Every structure is written in structure tokens, then in C-alpha cells.
Amino acid sequence: MVFPHAKLNVDGIVNSLRDKILTGTYPPGERLVETDLADEFGVSRGPVRDALKRLAGVGLVTAKNNVGVQVRTFSLADAKAFYQLREALEVQVAQLAAQHAGDAEMARIKYLLHEHEELIHRHPDGAYVQDEKDQDFHLVLVDIASNPLIHKLLADELYPQSVLLRRSHRMVKGRGAKAFFEHQQIAEAIYANDHVLAGMLMTRHIQSSWRSFYSGQQCKSENQSDDR
Amino acid sequence: MVFPHAKLNVDGIVNSLRDKILTGTYPPGERLVETDLADEFGVSRGPVRDALKRLAGVGLVTAKNNVGVQVRTFSLADAKAFYQLREALEVQVAQLAAQHAGDAEMARIKYLLHEHEELIHRHPDGAYVQDEKDQDFHLVLVDIASNPLIHKLLADELYPQSVLLRRSHRMVKGRGAKAFFEHQQIAEAIYANDHVLAGMLMTRHIQSSWRSFYSGQQCKSENQSDDR
DNA sequence: AAAAGAAAGATTGTTTACAATGTGGTTATA
DNA sequence: TATAACCACATTGTAAACAATCTTTCTTTT
């Protein structure tokens, strides 16, 4: 007999809940009831409350006093603010990465881009795997930037939120090839340790991503103006 | 008979604890024991646990599993990462403020700088009040930038952490006059809606602040290398 | 019939008691 | 004397019961 989960502590509950949110088991707007989750995980409400509070702290759920928590939904205004914040952080990451990158780091980037290139040739419009590789590229840069605070913000908060954002507003099919080209440009600047250029190119990269997202939302102008 | 605090909910406990941390009642490194705090606030451990977890979420305390929490201490490496993050956010804030600023916002900045100028003349080296005004300036810009996410990050996390940072490493006396001049430069760029210049000047402003902090730490090279 | 009010149910907030873990000191042993 | 094992204490993690709050539904009144 196999136990579905031996005995989950708070960290385990957080991880499990995050997975279920990011994979869509709990879609945006879904209410998360403490007692239900407690039964589901086979624990009492205490650890579940702690887990939900941590998820609220990283912006994956929203909590209202005496009412409850639900999976976060992104309004268009939220999305705009999100991209502005991400731009600020990613530009700094690109600059720091360009300053810190040595031979080993450059080799790491080159290998990743090579893999990505092959993927594009095999699946010219495979939006999903390309989004994966896109996040990989940015994560590698965050690693190289060597700033634990920014790393935590991007890896633990913004990137998960980014997945949720894609799930809230159904994204227009990824812009894989164009993004890959921009990655190559940024990489070139990093190889040259040109942090100014790397920053500028990253600015354009994120803004380009935002425009792609925004135009995709404008076409199907449903009632996306729910700001709650 | 007066009750010290009518009946504190979690938000009240968070506020009270934050005040006591930022004012130095609980200095950096101090252990915060749940039962003690519970007695002090006249509640049970539950709300105190919630409050501590939220304070950990905004980086004012550090928590270790099965051990406890203590007021956050900043290593020099922490401080460097902190300033890099702050630079990224503040530069974006300056750019956005320059883009959004209309007559009303510009008048608000002008009034604030006028007040600050008088203060400098009256107290040429009053480090404390000048740090206050410094934060005021940056807060006003954050307001004008109109980005709730960045606002929350800076106002609720980085600025409080900044106070704690000053408390960890005894700061060299503030650089009030120089900072004020840099504020004026930034303001000029904002008046001209020149977001590129505003961003550049803010970059210099934060980096200048960092150099001031860093040089002040280098002189008295104690065992500041504790990275725990 | 519509709107205001009250009661019942569901859910979160809090308290208390218990279990598990880590820490520090004491003692025995080399 | 130094070190390792062990035990007692302090503190955190979890569970279960109780209190407070919100939401929904049903009733009452105009």
C-alpha cells in the first residue's frame, strides 16, 4: 500500500499547492478553503493556513480577512505593473550578468542557446517548449548575476506569477523565434562584458514581450476590465 | 484604568512588532520568542506566529525551522545586494515618474524640495531629519510612478529594510546636502518629462549612496564578514 | 412583488493542549 | 583535561475545540 504523501510539512504543502496552481488544477479565481485542503493533505488547518499565507506573500493567491483566499487573478492593469517591475529587475540582471560573466558562464549561455536553436528548428511554433526555454535563459542570467535578493524575487515570485498570468489571459501563441533572436543579441553583449548594451537590449526584450502580450489582449476585448 | 492595547489582531501585532524593530527596541540579531511575545501582547501564540511569518516575508526577521526567528542582520554582501535591487527599482520609478508627471505632481515635488532646502539651511548636518526627507522624496516619486507592485516592494519592504540596515551597520553621518542636490537634478529631469535622464540620474544617486555607505564600512573593518 | 431584516450555515480567527525538535548542560569515560 | 553521550529544558510544530465573522437563504413587512 502506498501513501499518496508520507507526511507533509508546511514546505511540502506549499510546494504541492504551488504546483496545483501553476498547472491549472486550481485555476485563477478558485477559492481555496482551509478545511478542504486540510482533509486533502491529511493534516490539520494550522499548516494549511501557514502555507496559504506564504503563497499570498509571493503573490500566487490573494487573501481577504474573514473571507478566505483564492488563486490570484490578473487584471490588465496588474499585468502592466507586472511587466514594468519585471523590466526593472531583468535589466539589472542583464547588467550584472554582463559584468560578472567569465568563460564558464559564457559557455553555459552558449550551450543553452544552442539547445534552444535546435528546438526552434524542430518545432517552429511550439509555443510551450519555447516558453520553457525562454524562462531557462532568464534563469541562467539571474544565476550569473549573483544577487540572492533579485534571484529570490524573480525565481520565487515573478516567474511563477508569470505562469499564472499566462493562465489568466490566454496568451497569443508564443513569439519563440523573435524572442530567441533577442536572446542572442543580449548574449553577444554579455560575451563582450558590455553591461550598458546588455541592459538596453534587455529593456527592449521585455518591452517587446509586453507589446506582444498587450496586443493579444486588445483584439479579443472581452470584459477583461475586472480590477478586483 | 487604561488598557495598553485594546485587543490586537494580527495586523496590529505586525505593526507593533515592525515599529519595535525599526526603532531599535528589538535590535538586529535579537531572538523573538513566540510565547514571550504572546504574553506581551496578551494573545495566544497563533496570531504571533502569523505576524512573525509576515515579517519574515518582508525581510525584517529571519526564520529557521524548529529554531525560531530573530531580527534580521545585514552582512556587507546583503547590503550590496540590497542596493543593487533598490537601484533597479528606483531607476524604473524615476523613469515612470518622469513619464506620468503632470503639473500637480511637479508642484508636489517642488514643494517637498523647498521644504527640504529650508531644513538643510537650518540644520546643516542634521543627519536624521535629512534621511527622513530623503525617504520622503523617494516615496513621492514612487507615488507618482503609479505602479502598485513596485510601490508595495519599496514602501513595505525595501524602505523598512533600509532603516534596519542603517541600524545594523552604524552609518557614517548622512550626506544630506549632496543627496539634496542630486534630488534637485532628478526633479529637473522629471519637470522636463525626460525619463531617460531621470533614470540615469537616479542610477548615479543610488550608486553614490552605496559608495557613501560602503566607504563608511571599509574604515572600521570589524568582523563584518558574518554571512549567516 | 420587492426590499429589509433575521436566522442558519459555512468559513475563518483564536485559544488551548499535546507532540516533536533543537539546545545546552551534565556526567561519564578515555 | 578533553570529548562524547545522554538527559532535561526551552521552544517551535501540530492538532482539535471554541469563538467570531461573513454569506446565504428564508421570512416578514410595506
pLDDT tens for B110-160 read 999 999 888 888 876 666 667 777 788 999 999 999 999 999 999 999 999
Q: State the residue for C-alpha cell 503632470.
A: B102
Q: What is the mean pLDDT of chain B?
A: 89
Contact state of B149 with A89 under an 8 Å Cβ cutoff: no
The answer to whether residue A217 scores a pLDDT higher than 90 is no
Residues A12-24: what's their mean pLDDT?
96
pLDDT at B138: 97
pLDDT(B189) > 70: yes
Q: In what order do the strands lie in the sheet with B68-71?
A: B31-32, B68-71, B61-64
Cα separations (Å) of A130 from A137, A178, A203? 10, 11, 20
Q: Which residues of A touch B57 (CB under 8 A)?
A: 53-54, 57
Instruction: Please report which confidence band the pLDDT of residue A145 belongs to, taking 50, 70 and 90 as the band edges.
Output: very high
Q: Smallest CA–C1' separation from A31: which nucleotide?
A: C11
Nucleotide in closest CA–C1' contact with A65: C12
Determine, for residues B84 and A96 on separate chains, whether the beta-carbon distance falls below 8 Å.
yes
- Give residue B2's pLDDT band: very low, low, confident or very high (50, 70, 90): very low
Can you give the pLDDT at residue A219?
66
Mutation for B interface: A72, A149, A153, most B CBs within 10 A? A149
Please give the residue that has the higher pLDDT: either A61 or A168.
A61
Average pLDDT, chain A: 89
Closest residue to C15 measured CA to C1′: B44
Q: Which residues of B touch A96 (CB under 8 A)?
A: 84
- Determine the average pLDDT of the residues in A103-120: 92
Could you give the CA distance from residue A178 to residue B109 in angstroms, rounded to a whole number?
A: 41
Q: Which nucleotide is nearest to B66 (CA to C1')?
A: D12
B41, B48 contact by CB (below 8 A):
yes
pTM of the complete model: 0.91
- pLDDT greater than 90 at residue B178: no
* pLDDT score for A121: 84
> What band does A132 get if pLDDT is binned at 50, 70 and 90?
confident
Q: Judge: A91–B88 Cβ closer than 8 Å, yes or no.
A: yes
**pLDDT at position A216:** 80
pLDDT in tens, B32-51: 999 999 999 999 999 999 99
Which residues surround strand D, with CB < 7 Å? A 9-10, 43-47, 50, 66-67; B 31-35, 45-46, 49, 63, 65-69
Q: Which nucleotides of C are covered by protein (CB under 7 A)?
A: 11-17, 21-23
Strand D nucleotides in reach of protein CB atoms, 7 A cut-off: 11-17, 21-23
Residue closest to B117 by CA, chosen among B174, B189, B180: B180
Nearest to A195 by CA among B203, B195, B189: B203
Which phi and psi (to 5°) does residue A109 adopt? Answer: -65, -45
* Cell output for A17: 499547492
Give A105's pLDDT tier (boundaries 50, 70, 90): very high
CB contact under 8 A, B150 and A92: no
Q: A177-181, A202-206, B48-52: which range is least confident on average?
A: A177-181
- The reported pLDDT for the residue numbered B65 is 95
CB within 8 Å: A153 and B85: yes
Q: How far is CA B89 from CA B85, B150, B204, in A?
A: 6, 7, 13
Separation of A21 CA and D25 C1' (Å) = 32
Nearest chain A alpha carbon to B91: A88
Residue B1: the pLDDT is 45
User: Which of the two residues, A172 and B123, has the higher pLDDT score?
Assistant: B123
CB contact under 8 A, B147 and A85: yes
Question: How confident is the model over A131-138, as a mean pLDDT?
Answer: 83
Chain B interface mutation, best of A85, A87, A142, highest count of B Cβ atoms under 10 Å: A85
Q: Is the CB of A53 under 7 A from strand C?
A: no
> Averaged over B161-186, what is the pLDDT?
86
Cβ of A147 within 8 Å of Cβ of B87? The answer is no
pLDDT above 60: residue A177? yes
Round the CA-based radius of gyration of chain A to a whole number and report it: 19
Residue A221 has pLDDT above 70, yes or no: no
Nearest CA in chain A to B153: A85
3-state secondary structure of A31: strand
CB atoms within 10 A of CB B125: 11
Q: What is the spatial distance, in angstroms and rounded to an integer, between the CA atom of B70 and the C1' atom of C29?
A: 38
